[in-house]
Structure 1
Amino acid sequence: MSNTPEHSHDSSDLSPAQRLEPPNPRLVDASIETIYDMDTLRACVAYENQHQQRVPILRQLEERAIELRAQDDD
């Protein structure tokens, strides 16, 4: 993972519930986009599977996992 400013903060500052059930549903996209590590992503997938099981959210999380893996390969 790079140490660029946009990645310098810990992406686990928010809980999976805070990321996936914000007061404004439009914030879910931003919450997923600001996941920078696989541990946080896995926690969000587990939370979503246990609670809502929303297919569109799970797809977004899967896409973010692909992006994170690609970054790790760089």
Structure 2
Amino acid sequence: MHYDRPMRSLAFLPIAPALLLAACGPNDTDPGPGGVTVAEARALDEAAEMIEQRRLPPEALAEPSASPADGDTPGPQATGEQ
């Protein structure tokens, strides 16, 4: 069977919407994992990566002094109260 040129080009018309929709990604306001939007999940992932890349300086890991500073009040565990 021989189709003329205009008829062949119309054969792709029913497939075009499916191809166009397949190219669409998730919208930023679509629900994402954990009950947050896609944009919020992306922002949380970026923040977590920034925190993981940051390293503490060695002096930040030094052990704190054993005695509390003046003016600090002890919590309920230190006084024996419940």
> TM-score with structure 2 length normalisation?
0.22
Structure number, greater radius of gyration: 2
Higher RCO structure (Cα 8 Å, ≥6 apart): 1
> TM-score with structure 1 length normalisation?
0.24
Higher helix share: 1
